[in-house]
Amino acid sequence: MFVGVVMVVSACSSQPDFAIDSFEVEQSGWDSLLVQATFKHQSSLSSATSVAPDVIVYTVFDARFDTLYVGDDGHIAIPDKRLLDRERLLIEVCGFYQSSSACEQRVLSASPKKVMAEYEVFFPVEDQVPVGSQSYEKGEVELATTLYRQVFDSAEWEEIRQPSGKELSILAYVEDAPEDRLRIPISRSRTSFVLSRYDGNRDFRYHIQSSLMDADSAVVMFDLYALSSTTPVLVAQQRIVLRSKSTEERSSEVRELVEQAAAQILERVASRFGSRRAYVFINEWSFEAIDKAYKTEFELHWQDAFQGEWADMSGQLYVKSDGSDGSFRFLRGSERAESRWDDRIGVSTIELEAFYPKTTPESEESSRRNSRRRN
């Protein structure tokens, strides 16, 4: 019992109680706050009464707990335009009364923001180099970005500023190997970069070369990120397809291969005195990257020597890009062409002797595809 009495007496002799009675934060726009707080004091012998604190301090912190404002005025300016998308704001009020203090906090968010970009990447960009000597390391970026924020209490958006270079970066990677990425910093609206300066360059170039060897093409992604939120936000993407040879180079190579195939076929089906003139027409063609071979259907029209009659046939050519392993399959032809084919060859498919195109060999790469010379 004695112990209990002591405890009651101890409780009754506790220090005076000082606390926040009300705390309100009024947000009439993104750039300002009105913070109001009242305080109460209760002694051990009286009921709580409203009091004015000796000192009152208002503080606003950003998401990194950097101080945006500290002072005794509840009318607070917020630097919203330089804050991140919906960045967390911590508003704190503290009152000091005699030897006591009381603090309370509220959480708000900065304005919603987004980055819009006009974005183009040129890659690779090389000085004049021999065909096949592409290093796949130089490129250029042309960029125009604008930061917007949502108008307060509206669905509309307003332009607020241009993002700085520190807020932008590019992640480059080969589409088939997204785990190996290069980070390219952006310093201004037109930026040149050399990938060999960045970590991961060797893996990046390896994936390009592997894709070119395996599939005749490599898809390279350049993702533009903006630090407009607490985590980088994807703003735009540039997809560039690199090829060992351009479509124009492939088309030229096909024409050369077809002409050489047609010459071998004419030696077998033309009159014994040869042909006076001949033409070939390519109907369709495709390139099989795995085998590095062309498959094409073409027409061969020829006139025998000494004002001979005209004949024509259509067939399918399959040949490696280096001119080896060629074969031709007869599909159809004029009556004269079919008669010659049956009499002199007698089978639907023939093997062709190796021949070599005058264009660049398959091991060489185009120095023109997806490149742009800057002066």
Spell out the per-residue pLDDT of the chain, length 375, in tens: 333 332 333 333 344 589 999 999 999 899 999 999 999 998 777 788 999 999 999 999 999 999 999 999 999 999 999 999 999 999 999 999 988 999 999 999 999 999 999 999 999 987 644 444 567 889 999 999 899 999 999 999 999 988 776 778 999 999 999 999 999 988 777 888 998 899 989 999 999 988 888 888 899 999 999 887 778 889 999 999 988 787 888 899 999 999 999 999 999 888 777 788 899 999 999 988 778 899 999 999 999 888 788 999 999 999 998 889 999 999 999 999 999 999 999 999 999 999 875 444 443 444 334 444 343
> What is the fold of 2-109?
Immunoglobulin-like (2.60.40)
Q: Where are the domains of the chain?
A: 2-109, 113-243, 247-351
Q: Does domain 113-243 have CATH number 2.60.40?
A: yes
d(CA 252, CA 250): 5
Q: What is the pLDDT of residue 8?
A: 33
Do 113-243 and 2-109 fall under one CATH topology? yes
Q: What is the pLDDT of residue 185?
A: 87
Kindly report the pTM of this predicted structure: 0.64
100: amino acid identity, one letter: S
Q: Contact, 80 vs 110, CB < 8 A?
A: yes
